[in-house]
Structure 1
Amino acid sequence: MVFAVSLQLYLLTISPSIPGGDAGELVAEGCALGTAHPPGYPLYTVLAHLTTAYVPFGVPAWRMNVLCAVCGAASSALVARTVQLLLPAPAPASSLLSPSSFLSPSSVGSISAGIFSAISPLAWQYSVTSEVFALNNALVSWLLHSFVSFYLSPTNSAVFAGAAVSGLALTNQHTSVLLSVPCVLLTIHRARLLSRPAVLLTAASLTLLTLSLYLLLPILHALKPHPGAWGDVSTVEGFINHFRRKDYGTFQLYSGDASESEGLGPRLGRWLEDFCNIQGGNAALLLAVYGAFVVTRVALFGAAAGKGDKKKRGAVALSEEEIKAASVVAAAGSLLVPLLVFYLVVFHTLANLPLHNPLLFGVHARFWMQPNLIMFVLSGIGLGHVVAAAEKYHPKGGLTVSGAMFALAAFTLATSYPMRDQSDNVFFEGYAKGILGSLPKDSLLLINYDQQWTSIRYFQECEQVRPDITSINLSMTSYKWWDTKRSDYPHMSFPGTNYVMPGSVGKADGGFTFKELLDENFDRFPGGVYMGGKLNYGEQDWQEDYSNIPWGFVTKYVRSGEMAAGKSADPGGEWLKGQRAIWGTMTRTVATTLPDLNKYKDDTWEWTIHREYFDHLSDFASYLLEYALGDKNVLQGQDRMDALVLCAGVLEMTLKHDDTMRETNFATYKNLGLAYMNMIREHGKDRFEREVFRGFVTFQGVDGLDSLDASEWVPPGAETSWKDFVSARWAEVWRHFLKMDGARRDPSYAGIENILDQVFKKVGSTKK
């Protein structure tokens, strides 16, 4: 029942397309049977390939989302079944769904644990989108169930089942080792395997057999080389490096600067806070603590209390065998506590992501799903014992507790549903297609930003969107193993082994700089060379021969003197005409599907699309301002004025719709005031032309679709008194700039303050 309910919930809220994070790359490698980023995830890759290649309906991303939904539902069902094993079985009933069976302590505890596990926000999120975590939840839940089953009945077959699933879990997500290691040690002790070498050897062989899925990585690497695959797994050293995640730092989550990362105590505190406030709630925490207390107390003292022929427990007489059996069940349940503590302490000692960064906090929080599964099992045990105790005190006590718990589950589901519903999550589809659609035919796109890489990688590999564009992950080219990947990109030329910093030791060893890569490939691609993200090393030497100009969500490289703002002729304003077409594409694909920030907070990948949209729109406006104010051979007269008006309109729209820009970005106010000031200086333009904005850009706001239209920021009647409106708005904007925190650090601060002083002295006003 838990499986059916969970699966139905997930299918109703499933994302129809690819989400953010690593999902795009993981599914793409599944489509191509390639090698994903370390450690490679061979089990997920194989399942993704079978799903995307042989399921006959839906796009590949949706098919994988459905597979993740099945895995998530299986995880919840296994949580319920594990709780059921650790609670007293209900009395025999004529029907499985009879009240005596359905409302027994065992049923209430197990069903509640499974349902609350299913609707916890993290589990829900990763059960409706394509990531490795739903599969990991299913395998970890299976491992927990196998361990408990073995402890209750320590047979050889139970040992072998646990050994097999331990290896299988490691082929998907390495953090499962933090559960499998203590389970293996406890199993060896419980089954006395050190004195039974044949059984121990068989169990170890089964673990290695399932773990051998990793051997698919070098095999597929040899059979199906293709662009986009990560690492060189063709050699023993390369395979081992990939398996142990050397590129990211073995036993670490973060390869960046972790000097300001929190310590063990604060990390444990954040997990506990998240579980209490978001994932499980205070009720689940209290029930988990009570469940841990009950099973530990019985495990420690139950056997001693059971001496003698018969002992009383409440009104029921228990035999010695029954007391012993109850002690074994409690012992199995009590061992979940050290499993939980082991994971929390070891993981949070090794994890190094800085949790004060909201997005990186979201990345870190995904690894809390594994200990949360144990917490939900313990809470189910606790609830079962609470129901049993309530039944002893009052005939309807158990029914009351059960009803309250199911009502809480229904309330949680109803209130969480709108926020967890991903059925409208096509944001990265619009994002990736918008970027690809803005590029000319036969372009080279250098990507150094994960969000762009993973989403574009999926649509090019799995849905064959814009195969004419060569996309390459620039960060991947910086690894030593890149030398083995160069042949996968026949349209490109690499002037060395791998991308290195200018003047570094790597350059002397045969590496190439970014400038050399540009030199080698600039004329090879008729559509041009583009960059998404920032350079690895922040080098400047390429600027000797090249410039870059805004191009939607990326930048385009041009030779110095060609289209550099204010430095060369652009007859007829061709660049600006091109930008109108580009932002028209972004309007159709990105702006109309921007995520609602009330739903997608700054710890989600979707939030980054909203942030990036306005950042790039602001960059365009800033460049447009420089473009309009440069050499008058670029834009003159009416064209110049129209560019200034468009610049002001774009900046006004970003201030209206983007809270972060409005509150913190003082450069936006500076540039907006500069645009207005130059409108005042222009001659021959005393009337506002609304046609300037037609078809340029729109934004999907909370209240509907807003066009970049003058009616948003130009009051009625301003067309007939255009200069008066511009003058007033100019003064208002720059006054606001002077009052903003941090504005004094801007080199233009003193000059802007001086201009305002002079203007208001000239007109005889002291108001500032």
Structure 2
Amino acid sequence: MAGDALAYAPFGALGAVVLAVYVRTVYSGVASGDSGELVQIAHELGVAHPPGYPLWTLAAHGFARAAWLGGSVAWRVNLSSAVFGAAAAALLAAAAAELSGCAAAGVAAGGLFAFSPHVWAYATQAEVFALHNLLLAKLLFLLVRLDHFTRAAAAAAAADTDANACVRALARTGALVIGLALSNQHTAILFAAPWAAYAVYAARHTARLHRPAQLGALCGCGLLGLAPYAHLAVRGGAFAHQPGERRPPLAARAHTPAWGSWGDTTTLRGFAHHVLRRDYGTFRLSNAERATDGEYGLRLRAYVSSLPAQALGPAGVALALLGTAALLRARRSRPLALALLASAALYAGPFFFLSNLPVSSPFYRQIQERFWPQLTLLVLSAAAVGLARVCDAIPLLLPPTPTAPPPPPAAAACAAQRANGAPSAWRWAVCALLVAAQACTHHAAHDASRRDLFTRFGWALLDCVPPPARAAPRRLSSASPAAAAAAAAALARGGALAGGEVAGAARAAAAAAAARAALPDLPAGRAALLLANGDEVINALRYAQRCEGHRRDVLIVDLNYMQFSWYIAQHGAAHFPDVAFPGTSYGNSPGAFQLDAFLRANAHAFDVYSAGGLLAADPSWQATYRLWPQGLLQRLVPRSARLELNEPWQRASADALLLPELRAALGAVSPMQPGSWEEVVSNNHLAQAVHARPYAVLQVALELGANAPASRDVFVLAARLYEEMVAASPHALAHAAGPPGAPVPDYVHRNIGVCYSRLIGLASDERERVMATQRAAAAFLRYLSSSTIGEADRQQVEAGLMGLIAPSPANPRLEGGSLTGEGAARPKSARGEEANGAGASPPRRRAAKRQA
């Protein structure tokens, strides 16, 4: 191609167009997955999860601190991905044009790549993959240019000094880019290794890159590219001071990590541990215990099936196959084609095999999809060659114009066009239409300009903690569960067996009566300690608090981080000086502690809350504490404490803070993709918050037993709360159960039936007994109409239902009983707490596990 700057103008124009589209569709706030962590780490210049992503952190830090760009911190870091993605498209276009000999075909390849779903999704949010695509596109461009100059030098009659100098410069630049790429993503080695080997082999007779001096220079450039890893050692022990925070002593500052930094990277052992991703499993995508090696074929098929969407339908895939065949057929391009095929085979082989996540799961499939553009980049480069060959063949199929002077031979004309890089206007029109069609096809699904769910989610989580200055009453005492239930009896009596027909005024009066019945409040102003679990939780929290400064009074401790000794040793004194850690780490290792000990050590100083649930592997706390719902959170309350079952602030937090804000944010994500992080928030948090309160009241009722004085009133309250939830389901549950009018989850009807089946034996007269029997039977019939319940549970409920309708020795009446027979397993609750009473079904929650 021409060496002047004008030859690259089309690729620069493509980059500008792609950037304009990306900027219009970039996330307005923090995105899902690891984005919250990455934004906060870039903002405070800390160390991200393994392998640390130092190059991306340093680059994104510049955008995060560039306040002159406007917008929030998250928007500015998201903008960095848009810039990287647009540059990647331009470089791929230049490389594909060099490879195919047609600038228009190169622009088509770059545009198709930029607007393919897997690429576009990560070019509008804070993630490392847009920078990864940029570095690989640059590496491909350098490889194709090196091949061009190597062949030019070999074709010269005498040694072409200038061509050899260009080859050496390109090789050294490529070695530098390889180092930079490995500073961002380890998977770059799967492309870099065969490409570097080809470069040395191709230039062995011209630039003589195989000689020790040249190899030494290349290795030096590669090591220079790895220099960003020094950031891990420097900032792994650096304290990122934030306004309003107490600075540690000068002597301790060198060993104090930035808030949320991962690992101890200040030692050689810790540095190697972090870079090699040993926490996840070196040469593995995840530390998942389940073996998925048998799904290798499924992963390949999943990628191949996704190719038509990436390459604008089956025609794009056919062009890629045609282009590959054309490159292999031509003698001059065959060595380069074999190098590209080797890198593709290396990626499709080892990497797809080592991606040890079940691709059959929509959630884990979308985690793997973010690595697929690396292979798509090669596919679209080959498609550019195929498109150029098709465009070359079209003039041969057209008859010449009779009135026009005889044109030169079509083949010679096409060859001349490829030589001077000036394709005809119709080629540009075809390629522009292909790019426009790709962009229009995927624009609606990837326009994230109105999506700020995770920004609002982080704020909503923190807002569920009462501020110390205007803290809600903390009604705790050493009263028994029966005395605790009596505080809510006034609320329940007014609506006994009313099925949700109690008026709002009666509820308010009953709530006031319950408040007057409670013991005096604990001293106001106690600090809040929030135990966070799950990527979607901690990443939303860390962005809201650390980057936007919201609710700095709440101390956030990551339950997953707390399992590492480096977290307590380094972060404890620096960021949690008032928190007592009764051991070296959280877990079962020597010197570790469990949650019960942690709560006992801190209960005197903090009100402790849970966001995202507690770890199911540690049930130590269950004997002395219970989880009590408070909006999106759950508060850890001693089992001996008095509970305010209908505290007005809790209702306000659910109605005013929870539903309207997050439902509006979820409404911008339409349609919601199966397995997406948005679905995790909808099902695991928003729906959980709606369901958790009636379930918690039912748990208290089951603990009281049939003989407690307030047992009847608490069962009535639980039934009424469930029925209110069912009545509001077209509005309150639309986000979790589908569009408005979608059916209520089946376990809700089961738990309503459990409430009324218990009330049969607690009824004060025959009228209440008959009413409870009718409502229990109706609820169980609705439950049995569901197609999602298990066969064993179905048989159990059917037997209990027959006992309601026609009692017999085989089907005993359920008076005061339950639907769980002897030996039946107790259901596990959504956040690790067992259902302590028989028959109650907890809300269902899918665990989201951190991945690389």
1:309 is matched with which residue? none
Tell me, in whole angstroms, the C-alpha distance in 2 between the residues paired with 1:547 and 1:750: 32
Letter of the structure 2 residue corresponding to residue 77 of structure 1: A
Q: Return the offset for 1:182.
A: 1.2
Query: Which of 423, 426, 440 is matched with 1:414 structurally?
Result: 440
Cα contact 2:698–2:715 (8 A) shared by 1? no
Query: Which of 48, 52, 63 is matched with 2:76 structurally?
Result: 63
Question: Does 485-494 or 153-162 show the bigger shift?
Answer: 485-494
Tell me, in whole angstroms, the C-alpha distance in 1 between the residues paired with 2:578 and 2:651: 27
Alignment gaps of 5+ in structure 2: 1-12, 151-166, 240-256, 401-409, 411-423, 468-526, 814-852
Relative to structure 1, is the Cα distance of residues 42 and 679 closer, same or farther in structure 2, using a 3 angstrom cutoff?
same
Letter of the structure 1 residue corresponding to residue 237 of structure 2: A
Cα contact 2:168–2:209 (8 A) shared by 1? no
1:436 is matched with which residue? 462
TM-score by length of 1: 0.80
Q: 1:237-265 CA distances to partner (integer Å, 9 max, x unpaired)?
A: 00000000000000111112222454322
TM-score by length of 2: 0.73
Query: Which of 87, 94, 97 is matched with 1:74 structurally?
Result: 87
Q: Return the offset for 1:749.
A: 5.4
1:519 partnered with 2:600: yes
Letter of the structure 2 residue corresponding to residue 380 of structure 1: A
1:647 partnered with 2:719: no
Tell me, in whole angstroms, the C-alpha distance in 1 between the residues paired with 2:670 and 2:57: 34
Relative to structure 1, is the Cα distance of residues 409 and 725 closer, same or farther in structure 2, using a 3 angstrom cutoff?
farther
Relative to structure 1, is the Cα distance of residues 51 and 723 closer, same or farther in structure 2, using a 3 angstrom cutoff?
farther
Cα contact 2:719–2:752 (8 A) shared by 1? no
Q: Return the offset for 1:490.
A: 1.2
Relative to structure 1, is the Cα distance of residues 412 and 135 closer, same or farther in structure 2, using a 3 angstrom cutoff?
same
1:735 partnered with 2:750: no
1:493 partnered with 2:565: no
Cα contact 2:46–2:259 (8 A) shared by 1? no
Output aligned runs, 1:136-215, within 5 Å. 136-154=132-150, 155-192=167-204, 195-215=210-230
Cα contact 1:228–1:472 (8 A) shared by 2? no
- Report the secondary structure of 1:548's partner residue: strand
- Report the secondary structure of 2:103's partner residue: helix
- Report the secondary structure of 1:557's partner residue: strand
Cα contact 2:54–2:231 (8 A) shared by 1? yes
1:754 is matched with which residue? 803
Tell me, in whole angstroms, the C-alpha distance in 2 between the residues paired with 1:127 and 1:725: 59
1:4 is matched with which residue? 16
Cα contact 1:648–1:676 (8 A) shared by 2? no
Query: Which of 215, 223, 230 is matched with 2:262 structurally?
Result: 230
2:564 is matched with which residue? 479
Question: Does 340-349 or 117-126 show the bigger shift?
Answer: 340-349
1:388 partnered with 2:373: no
- Report the secondary structure of 1:263's partner residue: helix
Q: Return the offset for 1:108.
A: 2.5
Q: 1:153-176 CA distances to partner (integer Å, 9 max, x unpaired)?
A: 241101111011100111111111
Alignment gaps of 5+ in structure 1: 89-105, 300-326, 564-568, 686-721, 763-768
Tell me, in whole angstroms, the C-alpha distance in 2 between the residues paired with 1:349 and 1:664: 40
Q: Return the offset for 1:480.
A: 4.0
Tell me, in whole angstroms, the C-alpha distance in 2 between the residues paired with 1:431 and 1:353: 27
Cα contact 1:738–1:744 (8 A) shared by 2? no
2:591 is matched with which residue? 510
Cα contact 1:152–1:332 (8 A) shared by 2? no
Cα contact 2:237–2:258 (8 A) shared by 1? no
Tell me, in whole angstroms, the C-alpha distance in 2 between the residues paired with 1:205 and 1:644: 72
Relative to structure 1, is the Cα distance of residues 544 and 364 closer, same or farther in structure 2, using a 3 angstrom cutoff?
same
Letter of the structure 2 residue corresponding to residue 745 of structure 1: A
Cα contact 2:172–2:218 (8 A) shared by 1? yes
Q: Return the offset for 1:477.
A: 1.6
1:745 partnered with 2:792: yes
Q: Return the offset for 1:739.
A: 4.1
Letter of the structure 2 residue corresponding to residue 34 of structure 1: G
1:84 partnered with 2:97: yes
Tell me, in whole angstroms, the C-alpha distance in 2 between the residues paired with 1:635 and 1:646: 16
Relative to structure 1, is the Cα distance of residues 142 and 552 closer, same or farther in structure 2, using a 3 angstrom cutoff?
same
Cα contact 1:11–1:128 (8 A) shared by 2? yes
Tell me, in whole angstroms, the C-alpha distance in 1 between the residues paired with 2:291 and 2:674: 22
Q: 1:100-152 CA distances to partner (integer Å, 9 max, x unpaired)?
A: xxxxxx13211111111111001111111111111111111111111111121
Tell me, in whole angstroms, the C-alpha distance in 2 between the residues paired with 1:223 and 1:447: 24
Cα contact 2:52–2:232 (8 A) shared by 1? yes
Relative to structure 1, is the Cα distance of residues 556 and 197 closer, same or farther in structure 2, using a 3 angstrom cutoff?
same
Tell me, in whole angstroms, the C-alpha distance in 2 between the residues paired with 1:540 and 1:195: 61
1:551 partnered with 2:551: no
Cα contact 2:456–2:661 (8 A) shared by 1? yes
Cα contact 1:443–1:470 (8 A) shared by 2? yes
Tell me, in whole angstroms, the C-alpha distance in 1 between the residues paired with 2:295 and 2:622: 41
Query: Which of 13, 32, 35 is matched with 1:23 structurally?
Result: 35
Output aligned runs, 1:254-403, within 5 Å. 254-260=286-292, 262-277=294-309, 280-299=312-331, 327=332, 329=333, 331-394=335-398, 403=429
1:532 partnered with 2:607: no
Tell me, in whole angstroms, the C-alpha distance in 2 between the residues paired with 1:351 and 1:386: 36
Cα contact 2:718–2:755 (8 A) shared by 1? no
Q: CA RMSD in A?
A: 3.2
Tell me, in whole angstroms, the C-alpha distance in 1 between the residues paired with 2:131 and 2:113: 15
Q: Return the offset for 1:516.
A: 1.4
1:669 partnered with 2:749: yes
Tell me, in whole angstroms, the C-alpha distance in 1 between the residues paired with 2:672 and 2:694: 26
Question: Does 411-420 or 163-172 show the bigger shift?
Answer: 411-420
Relative to structure 1, is the Cα distance of residues 339 and 21 closer, same or farther in structure 2, using a 3 angstrom cutoff?
same
Tell me, in whole angstroms, the C-alpha distance in 2 between the residues paired with 1:545 and 1:732: 37
Letter of the structure 2 residue corresponding to residue 414 of structure 1: C
Q: Return the offset for 1:672.
A: 3.0
Q: Return the offset for 1:540.
A: 2.0
Tell me, in whole angstroms, the C-alpha distance in 2 between the residues paired with 1:499 and 1:533: 17
Cα contact 1:86–1:332 (8 A) shared by 2? no
- Report the secondary structure of 1:443's partner residue: strand
1:303 is matched with which residue? none
Cα contact 1:121–1:420 (8 A) shared by 2? yes
Q: Return the offset for 1:615.
A: 2.9
1:619 partnered with 2:692: yes
Number of matched residues?
A: 666
Tell me, in whole angstroms, the C-alpha distance in 2 between the residues paired with 1:609 and 1:12: 25
Tell me, in whole angstroms, the C-alpha distance in 2 between the residues paired with 1:263 and 1:147: 33
Cα contact 1:651–1:672 (8 A) shared by 2? no
Relative to structure 1, is the Cα distance of residues 119 and 277 closer, same or farther in structure 2, using a 3 angstrom cutoff?
closer
Tell me, in whole angstroms, the C-alpha distance in 2 between the residues paired with 1:14 and 1:728: 54
Cα contact 1:738–1:753 (8 A) shared by 2? no
Q: Return the offset for 1:640.
A: 7.8
1:719 is matched with which residue? none
Tell me, in whole angstroms, the C-alpha distance in 2 between the residues paired with 1:490 and 1:337: 56
Relative to structure 1, is the Cα distance of residues 683 and 535 closer, same or farther in structure 2, using a 3 angstrom cutoff?
closer
Cα contact 2:697–2:718 (8 A) shared by 1? yes
Q: Return the offset for 1:646.
A: 3.1
Q: Return the offset for 1:484.
A: 2.8
- Report the secondary structure of 1:58's partner residue: coil
2:554 is matched with which residue? 469
Cα contact 2:293–2:354 (8 A) shared by 1? no
Q: 1:371-418 CA distances to partner (integer Å, 9 max, x unpaired)?
A: 111111111111011101112222799877765554444333223211
